[in-house]
Structure formats: C-alpha cells, structure tokens
Amino acid sequence: MTGTFVLLVVAKAPVPGLAKTRLCPPATPAQAAEIAAAALLDTLDAVYSVPGAAPVVAMTGDLGHAGRSAEIGLALRRATVIPQRGWDFGARLANAHADAAAVHAGLPILQIGMDTPQVTPESLASAAAPVVYGGYDSVLGLAEDGGWWALGLAEPQHAQVLAGVPMSRDDTGQRTLSALAGCGLRPWEAARLSDVDTMADARAVAAACPGGRFAGAVAAVHGRAVA
C-alpha cells in the first residue's frame, strides 16, 4: 500500500499474564489481555481510516496465545507487519522506524503505540501533519505520565536517537525531546494524551472513547460501567 506517510504502530501480542499486568488487580490476567487486545483493535481501526497513511505494524509476542487472536490476525491483514528487533525497547523503536522506512522508502513516519485507543483518524492526521505538510522535521506527542505517545519524523533515520533514551520513566518525554534537539531537530509538540498503564488510566481513557471495544473491555472488569 502506498501513501503520503507511514503510520507505524508498535504493538505487543496481548497474551494473558504478559499484557497490561499493572491492571491486575482488579483485572484478572485474561481481562487485562482483553483490554490490551481491544486497545490494539480500536487503534488499528483509527489508523486504517487516516487518509494518505500507509499502515505498518511492528509486532512482538506470540499472537497465537493472545486475546482476540483471530480478530487481531484478520485486522493485521490490512497492514504491513514487521517483527520487532532489538535488545531493549528503545532499540526496538529505533529499528522499527528503520524497517518501516525500508518498506516505504522516502516517506515520513508517524509512530504510535497501542496504549492510546482514544486516538481518532482526525487526531492522528493532525499529529502527522507538521512533518507531512507543515515543513517540520519532527513531532512529539507527550503523554500525561511523562512519556510520549507519538513520534513523527520527516527523516526516519533520526529515530536512532531513541536507542539511547531510557524508556518507561516519568522523564522519558523530556529526555526524548532533548535527544531530538541534540541531533539538530526542532520538534512540534502534538496534543498531550493519557496512555493506559493502570486501571485508573484505563477508566479515564475509556470515558473518552465510550463507544469502542476498549470501553467495553474496561467496563467488564467487575461489571463496572464506564463513567
């Protein structure tokens, strides 16, 4: 599939006991995997509806043992799927950009994860616009927990700076901004979003997108309705 930019989703197979373990308790491992699967599926729905986007999914984990494996497998047929590779998360992110660029040479890349199922086609297009149409060299969408949820690069080789950034910390976002600035980039800051790490996060995000699979999976924990 061709497009004007690559929309790269970095994803992990939602295997019970390995996916979203910080949701347990109150969620069971199976419920946490269901929430993760729903987040991925809702994210892919949004990605596939973005005009001009060429979808690429960098996957890790055993999809055969994942929650909603058949549904995810069917959804992934609409994307180019590449394996994640690297010794830690920063290296896997950097390599995912390189591998996506090898598939779609010359296109800018907007990379997201699967922890912000509240994204819409419009919000993704808006995040990509500065590097696709606006003349900016980079975009970073910071997350409420101090990390980041989106990275856009006009020149994907600059993603190599991620290999030196500690991930999953409350200063990862600021460290990433510094790393991008250190290689001469001037990032546009996209809208700040909450990603899903804890059940409190999950309930807040579900309230922001009440009509999707994700909200239903969150509401199923203890039968709690989404406020």
pLDDT at residue 163, as a whole number: 87
How confident is the model at residue 225, as a pLDDT? 41
Question: 66 lies in a domain?
Answer: yes
In a domain, 115, yes or no: yes
For 52-87, the pLDDT digits (tens) are 999 999 999 999 999 999 999 999 999 999 999 998
pTM: 0.93
Query: Residue 91: pLDDT above 80?
Result: yes
H-assigned helices in the chain: 29-48, 69-76, 89-103, 121-132, 172-182, 199-208, 213-219
Q: Is it the case that residue 188 has pLDDT exceeding 70?
A: yes
Residue 223: is its pLDDT beyond 50? yes
Asked if residue 76 belongs to a domain, the reply is yes
Q: Residue 169 has what pLDDT?
A: 84
54-88 exposure pattern, b = at least 16 Cβ within 10 A, e = fewer: bbbbbbbeebeebbbbeebeebbeebbbbebeeee
Q: What is the domain range of residue 187?
A: 5-220
Tell me if 226 is assigned to some domain.
no
Assigned domain for 227 exists: no
pLDDT given for residue 119 in this prediction:
97
Span 160-184, pLDDT tens digits: 989 888 888 888 989 999 999 998 9
CATH number of the structural domain spanning residue 144: 3.90.550.10
pLDDT at 3: 73
Q: Which of 176, 143, 175, 145 is nearest to 159 (CA)?
A: 176
**Average pLDDT of span 127-151:** 93
Q: pLDDT tens-digit profile of 195-207? A: 999 999 999 999 9
**Residues of 105-130 as b/e, b for ≥16 C-beta within 10 angstroms?**
eebbbbbbbbbbbbbeeebbbebbbb
The verdict on residue 214 lying in a domain is yes
The answer to whether position 225 is within a domain reads no
Which of these, 40, 34, 39, lies nearest to 68 by C-alpha position? 34
How many domains does the chain contain in total? 1
Is residue 155 within 8 A of residue 138, CB to CB? The reply is no
Over the stretch 97-112, which tens digit does the pLDDT of each residue have?
999 999 999 999 999 9
Round the average pLDDT of the chain to a whole number and report it: 93
Supply the pLDDT for residue 85.
95
> What pLDDT score does 134 carry?
78
Q: What is the pLDDT of residues 115-125, one digit of tens each?
A: 999 999 999 99
